[in-house]
Amino acid sequence: MRRLLLGTLAAAVIAGATVAQDARSAITGTIQDQIDAFLADDFATAFSFASPNIKRIFGDSDRFGAMVRQGYPMVWRPADIRYLELDRMGSFQLQKVLITDMNGVPHLLEYQMIETADGWQINGVRLLEAPQVGA
């Protein structure tokens, strides 16, 4: 009986880890797909990864693209992207991303992700304090 219980518990842990890894892959895939669209100056596709709330705020892909170019140039033209930890906060997933811009300056961003009928979508991006470089 004890082995059966331990086996069931182990299977549940493994299944939970698989679901978490699947969510992480889907979330980072959504972010990367949006960045790839920015790199191609395809703001219509980039806008498609935004949540319904973000779409309501900006209204169209042209305004959204202008905001990204002006407010988040490191996202529009990154030199390097590293996906860091993924945290849960209520119904949101928070994906930290370290983006190095074309000048070699690192920027730490937090993507707020929501799961919708269309899959994971970006519900906002927040610039966090830049990591310290050097000593």
Q: Residue 47 sits in which domain range?
A: 2-127
State pTM to two decimals. Answer: 0.81
Going by C-beta distance under 8 Å and a sequence separation of 6 or more, which residues neighbour residue 60?
Answer: 47
* CATH classification at residue 115: 3.10.450
- Asked if residue 115 is part of any domain, the answer here is yes
**Partners of 97 in the beta sheet?**
83, 109
- Over its length of 135 residues, how does the chain's per-residue pLDDT go in tens digits? 666 665 665 555 554 555 466 789 999 999 999 999 999 999 999 999 999 999 999 999 999 999 999 999 999 999 999 999 999 988 899 999 999 999 999 999 999 999 999 899 999 999 997 656 655
How far from chain centre, in Å, is Cα 90?
A: 16
How far from chain centre, in Å, is Cα 122?
A: 7
Q: What is the CA radius of gyration of the chain?
A: 18
Q: How many domains does the chain have?
A: 1
- Report which DSSP code applies to 91: T
